[in-house]
Homo-oligomer: A and B are copies of this chain.
Amino acid sequence: MTQAIHKLVLLGTGLIAGSFSLALKRARLVNKVVGVGRNAANLARAIELRVIDVASHDAAQAVEGADLVFLGTPVGQMGALMAQIAPHLPVHCIVTDGGSTKQDVCELYRQYLPNQLASCVPGHPIAGSDLSGASAATYGLYEGRRVVLTPLPETSDQALETVQALWQACGAIVYEMDAKTHDGVFAAVSHIPHLVSFAYMNAVLAKDNAEQCLDFAGTGFRDFTRIAGSHPEMWRDITLANRDAILSDLRANAAQLQTLIALIESGEADALTEYINQASQARSAWGKKRSNK
């Protein structure tokens, strides 16, 4: 059983941080939650929904006396926040985050909190949703979901175990891997689908009869492009943050398209069937394993 957190500070009070707070409150593992944000309406809503107990605009002041700081903002804002809190962070206060890329966030910890690395536990809860803001936060968001922790070499066992136990108390399944492996895995199964979907949409839009084409798009198109509707700035940041893994996988996808083009050009029906079959079998097996199609 984990020891309760006396004071939790959320830097950013959106879906990810808010749901973390709600789950810990329900598990009676946190006494007081301070939320820091720039959007007054969102902070007010967070208090109203009891996602946080106290709102603040001042990260430096907020972290005084904190046991745990959770960085729940987009990765692009984390460096500035770490710089603000660094001089005010209590010695044993644990710092963790919900950023969806990890090599760059690890770099930020090193740059801005070099003397507190033992207490830093980079993390990535896998709980994407189209929704955002405190009002989207729910008690059960992490129930059965995966959380990946990518500890630094300096991260202490105690800090790691504490964050692990808190996520488990939220109902999450916790995995540990190094930041580079994390970024490679999520480039492959999250970032690339988004980018390929953007590229596909732009290919359709470049057609002379784009509008006519979109008029006849059906359910296959709908599902395939759902993620193409994602937030541009967020995906620009993720893309640039995870540049190397993404470039490598994008090149692999371009090469696969060339393979496929060559198969169709040559009209090799059996090889084409085999190409499709390999993809189809693997996708069906994945769907069965997850029993979510």
Contact = CB atoms under 8 A, between A and B. Distances in A.
Interface of A: 126, 128, 146, 148, 175, 181, 184-186, 188-190, 192-207, 209, 212-214, 216-233, 235-236, 239-240, 243, 246-247, 249-261, 264-265, 267, 269, 272-273, 275-280, 282-284, 286-287, 290, 292-293
23 contacts: A128-B220, A181-B212, A184-B209, A184-B213, A185-B213, A189-B216, A190-B221, A193-B221, A193-B224, A198-B260, A202-B256, A202-B275, A202-B278, A203-B253, A217-B286, A220-B227, A229-B287, A236-B272, A239-B264, A239-B276, A243-B267, A250-B260, A257-B257
A225 B283 contact: yes
A80 to B, nearest CB: 17
Contact of A269 (B190, B240, B265): B240
B267 A228 contact: no
Contacts of A280: 198, 201, 228-232
A228 B275 CA distance: 11
A218 B221 CA distance: 19
* Most chain B beta-carbon neighbours within 10 Å: one of A146, A247, A286: A286
Copy tally for this chain in the complex stands at 2
Contacts of A227: 220, 223-224
Nearest to A217: B189
Nearest to A265: B247
A31 B184 CA distance: 61
Contacts of A247: 261, 264-265
Given A188-B213, A229-B283, A240-B269, A220 B200 contact: no
A173 to B, nearest CB: 11
A264 B278 contact: no
A126 B293 contact: no
Given A193-B225, A264-B240, A277-B232, A205 B282 contact: yes
Given A228-B280, A257-B253, A275 B198 contact: yes
Contact of A209 (B185, B207, B231): B185
A205 B250 contact: no
B253 A200 contact: yes
Given A221-B189, A222-B290, A293-B226, A276 B240 contact: no
A18 to B, nearest CB: 19
Nearest to A270: B236
A122 to B, nearest CB: 16
A128 B260 contact: no
Contacts of A209: 181, 184-185
Contacts of A188: 204, 207, 213
